[in-house]
Structure 1
Amino acid sequence: MKEVRPIDFRKELKLFIDFPHELYKDDPNYVPELYIAQRDLLTPGKHPFHDHSKVQLFLAFENGKVTGRIAAILNNNHNAFNNSSDGFFGFFDCVNDQETVELLIGAAEKWLKEHGATTIIGPMNFSTNETLGLLIEGFDTPPVVMMPYNAPYYLELLENAGLKKKTDLLAYDVPYDTHNDRSVKLLDTLEARLKRSNIVIRTINMKNFWEDAAKARDVYNQAWSENTGFVPMTEKEFHHMAKDLKMILNPDFCLIAEQEGKFIGFALGIPDLNQILIKIRRGRLLPFGLFKLLTGMKKIDRLRVLILGVVEGHRKSGIEACLYGRIIKNARRHNIKGAECSWMLEDNYLMNNAIEQINGVVYKKYRILEKSI
């Protein structure tokens, strides 16, 4: 017998978080999420998303065994910012069974309709500010840090359940040995030109980390405001993210473009922790996972350029090239062998062209799906 029901949060949250470990136990490219991070993300009172929005978690069962999971998400800030009535689904994983998928999507749709949504969009965990997208190309390598992973059969199952493409997201591979040196060679010239406009590129000041982080949030909310599905980060959400990132941050990969003290752009690259997490069983730091994490940090040889944006009015002035060039130059000093630039909207031609100019190549694609309900 197959059924989908809301979880008993106190008793079944662990089941919800752990289901992907069972589903992908024989997949060499699967990277388990850290249990403690997933638990805090999903728990009201632990993550600031729950201060303004609602989430309902569902599990699918067949004869008492978990066969799938999904989260129905009502993002009130998204709907207020975009003047919409969208609902979202996320944390979606399932066995290769059409009936199970339709039961999961049906449960999420029903809950969202009851809360006033007229569209279901996903997967998103919880918004464009967190992990999102369905992997549709590039199943041959593990995901990098904070990027999703799923089996190839997901797309067909979801399309058969009535969902259609909304947009695609791109991940670019920029290998150390083939990237174009142009942005590095021109770096001094470009930065000299920017200085004539009183624009400087600098690393984040770790002594004034929170002051810089607050200004970076303003740039983030401005630079990405016109992107599909964007919702501004609240002060508490940005603080929560920055607090986590600070623990692994290398200032050489957190760069700020500043004009007379005003932030007009910034870029953030983070080490690919997934090179370590892939070895941590079921995402548990204890008893041995923490040791693997601490000892493995120095061996990471890949970077994810997570954020790079410039505010309107300063684009196409060379700032983007300077930020990329400085990151590439700094990466050499830290023995980084390559980077992933992700994710990029497929129609963000300005930024995609900038990555392609340094020989970045699309090697993974992710899809956001939608359906009227």
Structure 2
Amino acid sequence: MPFDSHGADITIVPVRTRAELTRFIKLPIRLNAGDPNWITPLMMERAEALSPKTNPFFEHAEVQLWLAVRGGRDVGRISAQIDALAPQTPGLKTGNFGLIAAEDDAVIFSLLFRAAEDWLRARGCVRALGPFNLSVNEEVGLLVDGFDTPPMVMMGHDPAYTGGRVEEQGYAKAKDVYAYLCDPTADLPAVVVALGDRIRLNNWDEAAFIVLLPNVNEAIADLKGKLLPFGWAKLLWRLKVSGVKSARVPLMGVKRKFADTMRGQLLPFHLMNAGRNASLALGYTQFEFSWVLEENMPMRRISEAMGATIYKTYRIYEKTL
């Protein structure tokens, strides 16, 4: 699929070989080289995430990756995927795009999206939604606000121009998701303390969970994506000995049978407070609660009652094909 741009052909190349996959993975490193807030992911982890041999997502999804090449140099990339397990609206079959990264060039973005959209149409999709890298359980959305700080573990970071280039291809906002930042050392509002006391005084069995992950990105920031020869030792030392100073809460849930009860509605406050206390005990100076859908007002109110503030916004785009 050649296209002339600035005097040189752009070719969209389907990723087929291990060497092409390696180029696909490494491209964002060059594109973000001048960004002090970019953190190079571990190459080994990225290779496993994009391999059908090691990522179970491929067992129920069809995935295609492409590279944009100009003058022998990789200048862009994109994925398209259809997850057989994703809920579908009758008559509105939806496929996804993801892993979008390219030089700031409208032609490159146009050709990449043309390839992804043609692939989705050929499989009966009438709507494209993304970016998902690769699924809703991994990195979701494109960073559109909050470029001035590094991303936490399992969160994305994109050049500021990317959102505008995506919109030029006819994509519009489907919804935003937020990342909240919380200072665990800050005093809790009295109402939150009272709610936590109310749960304890009732002395009932808790039926909920929260997951607090150390921010591995903080530990790998200077490893340049490599664990060998000595990166693994630095990583282990930072995680086990010197420690990291930040964390992320990616998962929190209340058992369905309690969700609509008064106690169930109080539990998220208790869980967030548990995350706060764990952060203090582990020496974390901040933790991120993400991602939160913009329409999820109960969780937004809880986060803000805990003193957390939105510091990053990720956008999910859609387009009728």
TM-score surpassing 0.5?
A: yes
Tell me, in whole angstroms, the C-alpha distance in 1 between the residues paired with 2:18 and 2:244.
36
Q: Once the 2 structures are TM-superposed, how far is the Cα of residue 362 of structure 1 from its aligned partner?
A: 0.6
Correspondence for 1:199: 205
Correspondence for 1:238: none
Q: Which amino acid is 2:84 matched to?
A: N
Q: Once the 2 structures are TM-superposed, how far is the Cα of residue 313 of structure 1 from its aligned partner?
A: 4.3
* 2:10–2:69 CA contact under 8 A, matched in 1: yes
Correspondence for 2:82: 74
* Greater shift in the superposed pair: 37-46 or 82-91: 82-91
Correspondence for 1:336: 284
Correspondence for 1:31: 39
SS at match of 2:163: helix
Tell me, in whole angstroms, the C-alpha distance in 2 between the residues paired with 1:280 and 1:181.
40
Superposed, 1:114-125 pairs within 5 Å as 114-125=122-133
Q: Which amino acid is 1:286 matched to?
A: L
Superposed, 1:178-327 pairs within 5 Å as 178=186, 180=188, 182=190, 183-184=192-193, 186-193=195-202, 195=203, 198-200=204-206, 257=207, 265-281=208-224, 283-297=225-239, 298-315=242-259, 316-317=262-263, 318-327=266-275
Tell me, in whole angstroms, the C-alpha distance in 1 between the residues paired with 2:161 and 2:52.
32
1:89 to 58, 73, 97: 97
SS at match of 2:35: coil
* 1:86–1:121 CA contact under 8 A, matched in 2: yes
Tell me, in whole angstroms, the C-alpha distance in 2 between the residues paired with 1:277 and 1:302.
13
Deviations 1:170-224 (A, max 9, x none): 011111343525445653442232x3xx423xxxxxxxxxxxxxxxxxxxxxxxx
Aligned residues: 305
* 2:185–2:280 CA contact under 8 A, matched in 1: no
Q: Once the 2 structures are TM-superposed, how far is the Cα of residue 67 of structure 1 from its aligned partner?
A: 0.3
Deviations 1:277-332 (A, max 9, x none): 21111x11111221221111142111101111224442352111111112212222
Tell me, in whole angstroms, the C-alpha distance in 1 between the residues paired with 2:20 and 2:223.
22
1:111 to 102, 119, 127: 119
Tell me, in whole angstroms, the C-alpha distance in 2 between the residues paired with 1:186 and 1:275.
33
Deviations 1:97-116 (A, max 9, x none): 00000100110001111111
In the TM superposition, structure 1's runs of 4+ consecutive aligned residues that sit over 4 Å from their partners are none
* 1:56–1:72 CA contact under 8 A, matched in 2: yes
Correspondence for 2:64: 56
Q: Which amino acid is 1:291 matched to?
A: A
2:301 to 325, 333, 353: 353
Q: Once the 2 structures are TM-superposed, how far is the Cα of residue 25 of structure 1 from its aligned partner?
A: 1.5
Q: TM-score, normalised by structure 2?
A: 0.91
Change (3 A) 1:356 1:68: same
Change (3 A) 1:179 1:85: farther
Q: Once the 2 structures are TM-superposed, how far is the Cα of residue 365 of structure 1 from its aligned partner?
A: 0.4
Deviations 1:68-101 (A, max 9, x none): 0011111111145x55511101111000000000
Q: Which amino acid is 1:74 matched to?
A: I
* 1:191–1:322 CA contact under 8 A, matched in 2: no
Deviations 1:98-155 (A, max 9, x none): 0000100110001111111111111101221111110001000000000000000001
Q: TM-score, normalised by structure 1?
A: 0.78
Q: Which amino acid is 2:216 matched to?
A: L
SS at match of 1:365: strand
Tell me, in whole angstroms, the C-alpha distance in 2 between the residues paired with 1:121 and 1:186.
39
Q: Which amino acid is 2:16 matched to?
A: D
* Greater shift in the superposed pair: 120-129 or 184-193: 184-193
The percent of aligned pairs where both chains have the same amino acid is 33
Tell me, in whole angstroms, the C-alpha distance in 2 between the residues paired with 1:127 and 1:368.
12
Tell me, in whole angstroms, the C-alpha distance in 1 between the residues paired with 2:187 and 2:212.
16
Correspondence for 1:209: none
Correspondence for 1:364: 312
Tell me, in whole angstroms, the C-alpha distance in 2 between the residues paired with 1:186 and 1:57.
49
Could you say what the CA RMSD is over the residues aligned between the two structures, in angstroms?
A: 1.6
* 2:146–2:313 CA contact under 8 A, matched in 1: yes
